Amino acid sequence: MTSSLPDNWQSWLVNTLAARDRDGLRRAPASIDSMQATRVQRDGQWLANFCSNDYLGLAAEPALQDALIDAVRRVGVGAGSASLVCGHHREHAALSEELADWLGVEAVLLFGNGYLANLGVLTGLAGRGDAIVQDRLNHASLIDGAMASGAKHLRYAHADASAAEQRFASLPESISKRVLVSDGVFSMDGDIAPVADLVVVAKRQQALFILDEAHAFGVIGSEGRGSVSHATLANDAVPLRIGTLGKAFGVYGAFAAGPRVLIDALQQLARPAIYTTALPPALAAVTRVALKHVRNDQWRRDQLQANIAQFRTGALAQGWRLMSSETAIQPILIGDTASANALSAELLARGFWVSSIRPPTVPVGSARLRVTLSSAHSSEAIAGLLNALAELTPRFLSNQN
Ligand SMILES: *Cc1c(COP(=O)(O)O)cnc(C)c1O
């Protein structure tokens, strides 16, 4: 096939992809044929799925399937326009109120997804002349949001509140609008941010503290209220919290939660919430049902914790290097990209889907298998994964250290 691309673009694109191939970093999505659940069919092969963020097993929950079908019959498929034009449905309003009630905050603003929420919040609240200080290991969307904002952007050593404070101390006094941002649970490590210490730093520095609870909401805290509740802090200890609805909620979308004045301002300032079509109202409706499960189904969190314990105990006994995580994200640290890819491939051949996470998503030399657990995993499935890992210890554990 001949290309209509200009020659210089053709060669740049080909070279860019070739470099990814050479480094084992080329990515492409695998298509699944089944529901998103703890067993999925991929290219005709059934696999035990240990890489989704469906921590509470809600993505395939029959009650949610029924709720979505009912909602589509009532409210149709698409929102039709942006929320500030004519796309805001009563279901969106009800979901926002119920999320605010759950978190004990005054108001919530919905976003298309978590990436947009982080982009919108940081570009809406900070700009040239302001400063954003954030954890080195924060999610890519927070890094991108900070860069897009044009604010001075400083990163501090992972989970180190005193390093955060030093960053603030290095800023000129003239910078009065300061933002502190952290993941609540870190997406590639699974550890929990030192939220109580960061609250103190933010207060001392007069900084607005924003917490991204993508992997915390639903998973930790009372009624799944995330890392603030987990740290036994008051609901308003962190002024702005971001949640995604595509992980523990099992659906799609995201929201920012906080005091009314802040949410009202975001409605005016967060361009990725303004110049975009509203979430399908049926998704808002089904998310209201998902929220009931998140709040009330403590048994799902209990089962998830039991599954985490089963995996950690087994993997540590075999000598694998796990990270200090008490959440659903349980990475096996490997180091070099080629070994992580090879381990992922060996597990796949044995019927277990665990994705290998490599640079640039994680720092060079810290490639890992990102095992994620769900309340929906059976103990047999976890035992199966541990058996497969046991077969692979001779080859992969001698490589370490
Ligand atoms: C997944 C994730 C996001 C993005 O959320 P989406 O709804 O998937 O776009 C943002 N922050 C963190 C920490 C995440 O893990």
- Residue 344 sits in the same domain as residue 285: no
Instruction: Give domain status of residue 292, yes or no.
Output: yes
Instruction: Give domain status of residue 15, yes or no.
Output: no
Does 115 sit in the ligand 1 pocket, CB within 6 Å? yes
- Residue 111 sits in the same domain as residue 48: no
Instruction: Give domain status of residue 23, yes or no.
Output: no
- 34 as an active site residue: the answer is no
Q: Where does a domain end: 267, 296, 325?
A: 296
Buried b / exposed e over 308-325, threshold 16 CB at 10 Å, is bebbbebbeeeebebbeb
- Residue 47 sits in the same domain as residue 196: no
Q: How many domains does the chain have?
A: 2
Residues within the annotated binding site?
27, 114-115, 139, 187, 215, 244, 361
Q: Whose alpha carbon is nearest atom 6 of ligand 1?
A: 114
- 215 as an active site residue: the answer is yes
Instruction: Give domain status of residue 219, yes or no.
Output: yes
Instruction: Give domain status of residue 19, yes or no.
Output: no
- 247 as an active site residue: the answer is yes
Instruction: Give domain status of residue 307, yes or no.
Output: yes
Do 98 and 249 touch, CB atoms closer than 8 A?
no
Looking at this protein, which amino acid is placed at residue 189? Answer: D
pTM given for the model: 0.96
Q: Ligand 1 centre and the CA of 394: distance in Å?
A: 35
The encoded tokens of residue 335 equal 């180091």
Query: In whole angstroms, what is the distance from residue 24 CA to residue 140 CA?
Result: 21
Q: Where does a domain end: 272, 296, 320?
A: 296
Query: In whole angstroms, what is the distance from residue 386 CA to residue 379 CA?
Result: 10
- Residue 270 sits in the same domain as residue 199: yes
User: Which of 109, 114, 74 is closest to 95 using CA atoms?
Assistant: 109
Q: For 140, phi and psi rounded to 5 degrees?
A: -55, -35
- Residue 174 sits in the same domain as residue 308: no
Does 187 sit in the ligand 1 pocket, CB within 6 Å? yes
- Residue 208 sits in the same domain as residue 251: yes
- Residue 317 sits in the same domain as residue 278: no
Q: Where does a domain end: 277, 296, 315?
A: 296
Do 332 and 352 touch, CB atoms closer than 8 A?
no
Q: Ligand 1 centre and the CA of 137: distance in Å?
A: 13
Q: In what order do the strands lie in the sheet with 107-111?
A: 107-111, 254-258, 240-244, 207-212, 178-183, 131-135, 152-156
The pLDDT profile of the chain, 401 residues, written as one tens digit per residue, is: 667 999 999 999 999 999 999 987 888 898 999 999 999 999 889 999 999 999 999 999 999 999 999 999 999 999 999 999 999 999 999 999 999 999 999 999 999 999 999 999 999 999 999 999 999 999 999 999 999 999 999 999 999 999 999 999 999 999 989 999 999 999 999 999 999 999 999 999 999 999 999 999 999 999 999 999 999 999 999 999 999 999 999 999 999 999 999 999 999 999 999 999 999 999 999 999 999 999 999 999 999 999 999 999 999 999 999 999 999 999 999 999 999 999 999 999 999 999 999 988 899 999 999 999 999 999 999 999 999 999 999 999 975 44
Show the domain range for 137: 62-296
CATH of residue 319's domain is 3.90.1150.10
Does 246 sit in the ligand 1 pocket, CB within 6 Å? yes
